[in-house]
Structure 1
Amino acid sequence: MKCAVLDDYQQVALSMTDWSAIADRVEVKVFAAHFETEDEVAAAIGDCEIVVIMRERTPFRRTLFERLPRLKLLVTTGMRNASVDLAAAAERGIVVCGTPGGGEGTTELTWALVLGLARKLVQENEALRGGGPWQSTVGVDLIGKRLGLLGLGRIGSNVARIGQAFGMEVAAWSQNLTADKAAAAGVRLAASKEELLESSDIVSVHLVLSERTRGLIGARELGLMKPSAYLINTSRAPIVDRTALLDALRGGMIAGAGLDVYETEPLPADDPIRSLPNVLATPHIGYVTEDSYRGFFRGIVQDIEAFLNGSPINVIG
């Protein structure tokens, strides 16, 4: 069988794990460059029975499935992928499998963004490298500040723990969060979303994208935040209204934003997010770590081997 691995940006798919268990039954071809259109995807992988996708880099909608008549197995990293039309896959008899795990990369990147914004690291580093002024900004202390978490799942709970280690007051809110769960994490349950936004110095998003969370933070919500506050989003871009966020950043309604997720990825070259001075942005690398990648690709090989043996594992949907 032929297997395509898509969006291997770092060109590490074949080195992150041992593919020998399936080498005699599968011919693997790897694509490092991102395909911008369904036409490009269909032309590149139309002869493949197996396709591997990295998170949500390339969506698999009904229209794409219809153009891949040979496809039998789609493997995605992670156990959830909102960009895959599971119903369309099932109708065509295509098995969709995921890979458990993922590590703590997103938790750590969240704090990289918080610290980078608070200590103005980009500005100071650029000045130092470019021969600019020696010390031109005044950093923000984290100790004693309030960290507000939208979502207290696995990642949110880990972010809370680190915030507590910095000596921050931590509160959390989500539609389903209970006082008992918050207390178990040593976190105060905010009375409401509005109270969390109004009282926090750092607001960090850790929610799953759904119809309930899409656009959860809009112009009204951003207007509730302190002018000195920072918004961090390493979850999913549509949870925060893009237009409202750009307006808030341009108008100084909030001090800045740390972003790792975008509605269009890769981010277009002319996107204003790339040039706003109060934005610290990274190219969706929260999960891009050695441990996560080794776990993902190990799981990919296991999924393919199990499928070839007639007993698929980690089936989604």
Structure 2
Amino acid sequence: MALKCAVLDDYQHVATRFANWTELGDQVELTVFPDHLTGEDGLAQRLAAFDVVVLMRERTPFPAGLLARLPRLKLLVTTGMRNAAVDLEAARAQGVTVCGTESNSAPPAELTWALILGLARHLVPETAALRNSGPWQHTVGTDLQGATLGLLGLGKIGSQVARVGNAFGMEVTAWSSNLTADRAEAAGARLAASKEELLAASDVVSIHLVLSERTRGLLGAGELALMKPTAYLVNTSRAAIVDQAALLDALEQESIAGAGLDVFEEEPLPASSPFRKLPNVLATPHLGYVTERNYGTFFPQVVEDISAFLASSPVRMV
């Protein structure tokens, strides 16, 4: 009997375009869901009949409670090799295999610069004015050359952002709890003496940290108050690294110039969210990893993961 496989949150209707699912033959019966469900009850009902579930990053959480309501589930496949939305311990205890895929760190670094440039040159309000016969040239852009770029996190993504900052002629500083001066220098940055020093000195602060108990709420009201009123905050990592209420207050009070946001505590972002309406926010719907190259890696490797599981030799186990 074929295993029933559900692909969740295929917003762009591309799961079958990027991979050859026919490689699995008649061993797998595929169902693709383009919509997003919230709430454990609805998910449990939708997925009750499936043996395999494919997750796109962290779009749909898989906590222990949901796993317990899916006794038929045998395999979870997530794109990427890290998914904080899956309770791995509960999955193991239930005998569910969890596998992942490779991913490319360049796309989120590229989007970071799209947000920085969009903010600095007021691209959205200027484009909107031009399209709507509004005022011609009504803002003054922020210069990046000679400005200070502060990076919270200098891993694969942060290092790529640093290189572009150097190309723009920016002074690049970086901080994380375990970052050393030598590692910072190798990436083209100067190690800031402290998080506080970085925040106070930077014209652009960009976050490139993994969400953990240590980084959750790393930037609160006190930290945001250290930033210059002319500075921008960019977050393409995880929303919970920044206290969202404090960020909203800073933006509403204009104690910082603006924010470029690709991540939110609730996704999709509710229609009523003030982040959708604030004029000093440039927001994108978690597009950091959404590129042809990444999808061209994700979905073929999902098929590989399922094929290996069927052969009793799972690969890329998370």
Shorter chain as denominator, the TM-score bin is: over 0.9
Instruction: Specify the alignment match of 1:137 in structure 2.
Output: 139
Deviation string, structure 1 residues 94-121 (Cα, Å, up to 9, x no partner): 0001101234110010000000000000
Per-residue CA deviation, residues 279-312 of structure 1 (Å, 9 max, x unaligned), is: 0000001000000011010110110000000000
Please show how residues 3-18 of structure 1 align to structure 2 within 5 Å: 3-18=5-20
1:80 counterpart residue number? 82
Aligned to 1:41: 43
Equivalent position of 2:304 in the other structure: 302
Gaps of 5+ in 2: none
Q: What percent identity do the matched residue pairs reach?
A: 66
Pick one of 206, 219, 223 that aligns with 2:225: 223
Of 221, 233, 236, the residue aligned with 1:234 is 236
Question: Which residue of the other structure, out of 260, 285, 289, is the alignment partner of 2:291?
Answer: 289
Report the equivalent of 1:264. Answer: 266
SS in 2 for 1:252: coil
Distance, in Å, in 2 between the alignment partners of 1:36 and 1:95 is 23
CA distance in 1, matches of 2:103, 2:273: 32
List per-residue Cα deviations over 1:76-97 (Å, max 9, x = no partner): 0000000000011011100001
Alignment-derived partner of residue 94 in structure 2: 92
SS at 2:26's partner residue? Answer: coil
Alpha-carbon distance in 1 for matches of 2:303, 2:315: 11
Deviation of the 1:36 alpha carbon: 1.5
Q: Which residue does 1:172 correspond to in 2?
A: 174
Larger displacement relative to structure 2 (260-269 or 98-107): 98-107
1:53 corresponds to which residue? 55
- Equivalent residue runs for 1:126-165 within 5 Å: 126-165=128-167
The equivalent of 2:206 in structure 1 is 204
Give the ranges of 4+ consecutive aligned residues of structure 1 lying more than 2 Å apart after TM superposition.
none
| In 2, Cα distance between equivalents of 1:232 and 1:157 | 15
User: CA offsets per residue over residues 223-259 of structure 1, 9 Å max, x none?
Assistant: 0000000000000000000010001001111000000
User: What is the CA distance between 1:183 and its match in structure 2?
Assistant: 1.2
**Counterpart Cα distance in 2 of 1:17 and 1:6:** 15
Q: Distance in 2 between matches of 1:260 and 1:185?
A: 24
- Secondary structure of residue in 1 paired with 2:219: coil
TM normalised by structure 2 equals: 0.98
Partner of 1:19: 21
How far apart are the structure 2 equivalents of 1:182 and 1:23? 49
Q: Indicate conservation of the 8 Å contact 1:42/1:67, yes or no.
A: yes
Equivalent pair of 2:233/2:258 in contact (CA under 8 Å): yes
Give the letter for the 1:27 counterpart.
Answer: E
Question: Any conservation in 1 of the 2:105–2:156 contact (CA below 8 Å)?
Answer: no
Extract unaligned runs of 5+ from structure 1: none
| CA–CA distance in structure 1, aligned partners of residues 249 and 259 of structure 2 | 12
Matched residue, 1:67: 69
